[in-house]
Chains A and B, each alone.
Chain A
Amino acid sequence: AQSVTQLDSHVSVSEGTPVLLRCNYSSSYSPSLFWYVQHPNKGLQLLLKYTSAATLVKGINGFEAEFKKSETSFHLTKPSAHMSDAAEYFCVVSGRGFKTIFGAGTRLFVKA
């Protein structure tokens, strides 16, 4: 069975400080992993994806994530938060032969 757990429902950071959004997954097979962002009143947008190539994946807007098989994790990071990063972030697991599963989401707050 496949599942995904986002360890924090809310994360609050100050502008200019690092961002860490945590995601653990469970999969019987080699998974594909994604991070999507949802801004208020806007559609879901892909940030980055891992599909069995390089374990460190770089995405848009300075975000990156590292696939760690031994820890079954795919945490999202950014060195310096910007006010425009405030949004809901979803970790997603998928793969050949099984359906897409979204995590519950992490709301990121950025303080000035």
Chain B
Amino acid sequence: EAEVAQSPRYKITEKSQAVAFWCDPISGHATLYWYRQILGQGPELLVQFQDESVVDDSQLPKDRFSAERLKGVDSTLKIQPAELGDSAMYLCASSFLPAAAPDTQYFGPGTRLTVL
């Protein structure tokens, strides 16, 4: 069964450093999501792509976070500089239908970020 791949699984960094996370969605899925999940809370949507276009990035802290999906396939989420409050699980998900149609999301295993 096809899965969403994410790397790295764990990342430890010092504050003010740059970090990057990678996501490879299920082949053929048009929509890709990045979420941040703080321990004990539900995932919060950071950015949503349809193909290579950003559909929603209203909750993305744009002063330090950036995301891209250049060829409409895999995606990278970057934080620069990292802050202590960025420590969280970063989840990637994909869905088959276009962004306007609510659809089942398939989640990757996540990247656990610890900022020291």
B56 sits at the interface (CB 8 A): yes
User: Would you give the 0/1 interface string for A18-50, flagging 1 where the beta carbon is closer than 8 Å to chain B?
Assistant: 000000000000001010100000111110010
Tell me whether A99 and B58 are in contact (CB under 8 A): yes
Tell me whether B45 and A100 are in contact (CB under 8 A): yes
Contact residues on A (Cβ < 8 Å of other chain), bracket:
20 to 34
Docked pose: A46 CA to B105 CA in angstroms:
8
B9 to chain A, nearest CB (A): 10
A90 sits at the interface (CB 8 A): yes
Docked pose: A45 CA to B105 CA in angstroms:
8
Docked pose: A71 CA to B19 CA in angstroms:
44
User: Smallest CB-CB separation from B106: which chain A residue?
Assistant: A46
Q: A97-B100, A105-B41 are in contact. Are A43 and B56 (CB under 8 A)?
A: no
Residues of A within 8 A of B25 (CB): none
User: Would you give the 0/1 interface string for B1-43, flagging 1 where the beta carbon is closer than 8 Å to chain A?
Assistant: 0001000000000000000000000000000010100001111
A residues with CB within 8 A of B: 32, 34, 36, 42-46, 49, 51, 90, 94-97, 99-105
Can you report 30 A-B residue pairs in the complex whose CB atoms are below 8 A from each other? A34-B104, A36-B107, A43-B108, A44-B43, A44-B91, A44-B105, A45-B107, A46-B104, A90-B42, A90-B43, A95-B102, A96-B100, A96-B101, A96-B102, A97-B100, A99-B45, A99-B56, A99-B58, A100-B33, A100-B102, A100-B105, A102-B35, A102-B42, A102-B44, A103-B42, A104-B41, A104-B42, A105-B40, A105-B41, A105-B42
Apart from A90-B43, A103-B42, what are 19 other A-B pairs with CB-CB below 8 Å?
A: A36-B107, A43-B108, A43-B110, A44-B43, A44-B105, A45-B107, A46-B106, A49-B104, A51-B102, A96-B101, A96-B102, A99-B56, A100-B33, A100-B48, A100-B102, A102-B35, A102-B43, A102-B44, A104-B41
